[in-house]
């Protein structure tokens, strides 16, 4: 049974790596990511920052892209199990830099789930753990053991971990030990957006 979540953001977001299109959504079942989904903050026209000659050739500051630092909200009522808030937000990699960056992904995967997901919050809800990842360094506002309700601010959208541009990675698992957990399907407000959809909240 999937766990139904509220959308954990406001504004305009593009769906990427949706399990509505394929499972495993990220091309791997490693670290229980089979049903994970990514949301990329975009402008009202559905775009990230315009590609320029510079951004095609060089990494660019993450804060130049839409949504960096925008609030991320609790998608369920639950208890905060764990947080991680110390990973640096690195530059965004688009164009040619994204190809070079992709070649380093296996190296990060060998370091474990935290190296991939960066700063994150884990929330337990009815025996299911919901992970919200790639948060901005130093932005997390909740602590382990804290009760949270839907819509409560958890932190800000960032570019930590295995991330080419600021976005939010959401996944649900059956155990807080994510490196050994099994993936749990998710829906958002009763449905599952497809890859490429623009969600406006």
Q: Has residue 195 got a pLDDT over 70?
A: yes
Q: Which helix (H) or strand (E) holds 108?
A: helix 105-110
pLDDT tens digits, one per residue of 14-68: 999 999 999 999 999 999 999 999 999 998 888 887 666 666 667 888 998 888 9
- Predicted confidence (pLDDT) per residue in 156-182, tens digit: 999 999 998 999 999 999 999 998 999
pLDDT confidence band for 185 (50 / 70 / 90): very high
Per-residue pLDDT of 100-125, as tens digits, reads 666 676 777 778 888 889 999 999 99
198 in Cβ contact with 13 (< 8 Å): yes
- Domain boundaries in the chain? 3-200
Distance in angstroms (rounded) separating the CA atoms of residues 62 and 160 = 10
Label residue 114 left, alpha or beta by phi (over 0 means left) and psi (-120 to 50 means alpha): alpha
Q: Which fold has domain 3-200?
A: Glucose Permease (Domain IIA) (2.70.70)
- Which tokens in the block code for residue 105? 């992904």
Say how many residues make up the chain.
201
């Amino acid at each position: 049974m999937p766990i139904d979540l509220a959308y954990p953001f406001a504004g305009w977001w593009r769906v990427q790596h949706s399990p509505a299109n394929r499972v495993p959504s990220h091309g791997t079942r490693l670290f229980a990511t089979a049903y994970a989904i990514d949301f990329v903050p975009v402008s009202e026209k559905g775009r990230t920052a315009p590609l320029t000659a510079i951004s095609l050739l060089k990494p660019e500051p993450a804060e130049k892209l839409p949504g960096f630092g925008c609030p991320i909200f609790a998608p369920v009522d639950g208890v905060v199990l764990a947080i991680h808030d110390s990973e640096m937000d690195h530059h965004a990699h688009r164009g040619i830099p994204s190809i070079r960056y992709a070649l380093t992904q296996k190296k990060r995967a060998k370091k474990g789930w935290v190296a991939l997901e960066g700063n994150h919050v884990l929330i337990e809800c009815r025996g299911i753990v919901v992970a919200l990842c790639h948060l901005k360094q130093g932005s997390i506002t909740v602590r382990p053991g804290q009760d949270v309700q839907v819509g409560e601010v958890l932190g800000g959208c960032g570019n930590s971990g295995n991330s080419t541009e600021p976005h939010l990675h959401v996944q649900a698992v059956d155990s807080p030990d994510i490196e050994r957990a099994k993936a749990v399907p998710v829906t958002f407000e009763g449905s599952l957006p497809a890859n490429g959809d623009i969600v406006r909240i």
